[in-house]
């Protein structure tokens, strides 16, 4: 079949490995998505940009949780 996330004829999954390195810089990723030289370049760019987006989302959630914990601790101790 060959579509992303579907099974290949051999029965193996086509999902990318979590341990697959991202060998493309952010600027190269943007260029590859908008002006791909080949389909593989566009896919590599898309994976890199998706990784960056999810990574930043995780950082934002961790920061939000840390601030909430700090706020609760400060209120419980009477500092605020």
Residue 21 belongs to some domain of the structure: no
Cα-based distances in Å from 10 to 4, 16, 19 = 15, 16, 22
Q: What is this structure's pTM?
A: 0.63
Per-residue pLDDT of the chain (80 residues; tens, 9 = 90+): 344 444 344 445 555 565 566 678 999 999 999 999 999 999 999 999 999 999 999 999 999 999 999 888 877 777 65
Residue 39 belongs to some domain of the structure: yes
Other C-beta atoms within 10 Å of 22: how many? Answer: 14
Structural domain including 46 reads 26-77
Residue 45 belongs to some domain of the structure: yes
| Domain count within the chain | 1
Please give the helix or strand (H or E) that residue 4 lies within, else none.
none
């Amino acid at each position: 079949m060959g579509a992303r996330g579907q099974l290949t004829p051999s029965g193996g999954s086509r999902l990318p490995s979590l341990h697959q390195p991202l060998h493309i810089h952010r600027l190269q990723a943007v260029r590859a998505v908008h002006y791909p030289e080949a389909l593989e370049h566009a896919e590599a760019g898309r994976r890199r940009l998706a990784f960056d987006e999810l990574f930043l989302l995780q950082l934002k959630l961790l920061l939000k949780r840390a601030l909430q914990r700090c706020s609760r601790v400060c209120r419980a101790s009477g500092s605020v």
